[in-house]
């Protein structure tokens, strides 16, 4: 992979990772248009690894929150009074919410990296989950804040998150934000929780691919391109996080929903006309 392609894909990843529009779907489409085989071991690993750059951006952006959550969780393990701290409950929410996606990722790893990477799957999931997002976005009980999150919220939202690797067009952030709103969280709180749940899931996925597919990356994409793409995604994702939190504080997700449907229609046209293959 040349460095221009690596930079382009890093930008795509950085912009789309935390927006509810499916970063994997965007990466797969752009990779297809650039002429890459998206279900090859090297490209699958590249796609997962550059996501780590976006996650590092989230860790940097929310570093104070993350430290507070970890500290509160450890304090709560041995102190009953400390368990009243919302950050203690958030710690359990993130831990329990990360389990479903880990189980699904390990059990269906082969299908996720091959069959389910079809562009038809991406297009169908984009449309189907847009309906779910529209329903969640129009609920009238979005009054709970991030301080109200419980372990039950984390587990339920984590189950929704586990759908995203199976159907890439759903979008991990789209799944978790929708689930958060179904649980009554306001848009900003649902979005913040989506960030926290994404950190362990995507770091683990990217780390696993980096270790298990190191030789495939070396012989196909190349580590220089992979590192460049990861760094670019980190920088772009940091700006994307700041923008998204400001946006959802004043707006609904309607714009994203419309965009998802338009993107799905574009993918279908490209598939039907033979411009890209599934």
Choose between 171 and 243: higher pLDDT.
243
pLDDT of 114: 64
Q: pLDDT digit string (tens) for 244-263? A: 999 998 888 999 999 999 99
Choose between 39 and 187: higher pLDDT.
187
Residues 146 and 106 sit within 8 Å (Cβ to Cβ): no
| Residue partners of 131: CB distance under 8 A and separation at least 6 | none
For residues 88 and 149, give the distance between their C-alpha atoms in angstroms, rounded to a whole number.
10
Task: Name which of 72, 111, 103, 74 is nearest 88 in CA terms.
Answer: 72
Q: pLDDT digit string (tens) for 67-76? A: 999 999 999 9
Task: Name which of 73, 56, 30, 38 is nearest 207 in CA terms.
Answer: 56
Kindly compute the dihedral angle of the four CA atoms of residues 145, 149, 153, 155, in this order, to the nearest 10 degrees.
Answer: 140
Q: Where are the domains of the chain?
A: 3-272
Choose between 9 and 204: higher pLDDT.
9
Task: Name which of 178, 179, 186 is nearest 140 in CA terms.
Answer: 186
Report the chain's mean pLDDT, rounded to a whole number. Answer: 88
Q: pLDDT digit string (tens) for 84-131? A: 899 999 999 999 999 988 888 778 767 666 667 788 888 999 999 999
pLDDT of 112: 67
With pLDDT > 70 as the criterion, what percentage of the chain qualifies?
97
Q: Is the pLDDT of residue 278 over 90?
A: no
pTM, rounded to two decimals? 0.85
Query: Residue 71 is encoded by which pair of tokens?
Result: 């500290």
Q: pLDDT digit string (tens) for 188-231? A: 999 999 989 988 887 877 777 777 777 777 878 888 999 999 99
Query: Residue 233 is encoded by which pair of tokens?
Result: 């995604």
Query: Residue 132 is encoded by which pair of tokens?
Result: 């779910």
Chain Cα centroid distance, residue 68 = 23
Confidence of residue 43 (pLDDT cuts 50, 70, 90): confident
């Amino acid at each position: 992979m040349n460095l221009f392609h690596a930079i382009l894909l890093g930008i795509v990843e950085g912009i789309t990772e935390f927006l509810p529009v499916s970063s994997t779907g965007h990466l797969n489409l752009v990779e297809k248009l650039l002429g890459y085989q998206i279900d090859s071991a090297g490209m699958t690993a590249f796609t997962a690894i550059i996501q780590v750059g976006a996650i590092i951006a989230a860790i940097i952006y929310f570093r104070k929150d993350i430290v507070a959550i970890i500290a509160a969780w450890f304090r709560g393990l041995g102190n009953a009074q400390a368990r009243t701290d919302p950050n203690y409950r958030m710690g359990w929410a993130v831990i329990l919410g990360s389990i479903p996606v880990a189980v699904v990722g390990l059990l269906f790893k082969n299908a996720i990296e091959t069959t389910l990477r079809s562009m038809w799957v991406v297009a169908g999931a984009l449309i189907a989950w847009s309906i779910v997002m529209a329903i969640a976005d129009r609920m009238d009980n979005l009054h709970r804040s991030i301080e109200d999150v419980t372990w039950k919220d984390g587990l339920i939202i984590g189950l929704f998150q586990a759908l995203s690797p199976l159907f890439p067009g759903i979008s991990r952030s789209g799944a978790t934000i929708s689930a958060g709103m179904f649980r009554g969280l306001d848009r900003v709180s649902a979005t913040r929780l989506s960030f926290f749940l994404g950190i362990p899931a995507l770091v683990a996925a990217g780390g696993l691919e980096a270790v298990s597919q190191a030789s495939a990356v070396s012989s196909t994409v190349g580590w220089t391109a992979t590192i460049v793409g990861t760094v670019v995604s980190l920088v772009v994702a940091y700006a994307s996080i700041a923008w998204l939190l400001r946006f959802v504080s004043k707006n609904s997700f309607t714009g994203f929903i419309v965009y998802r449907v338009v993107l799905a229609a574009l993918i279908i046209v490209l598939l039907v006309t033979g411009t890209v293959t599934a």
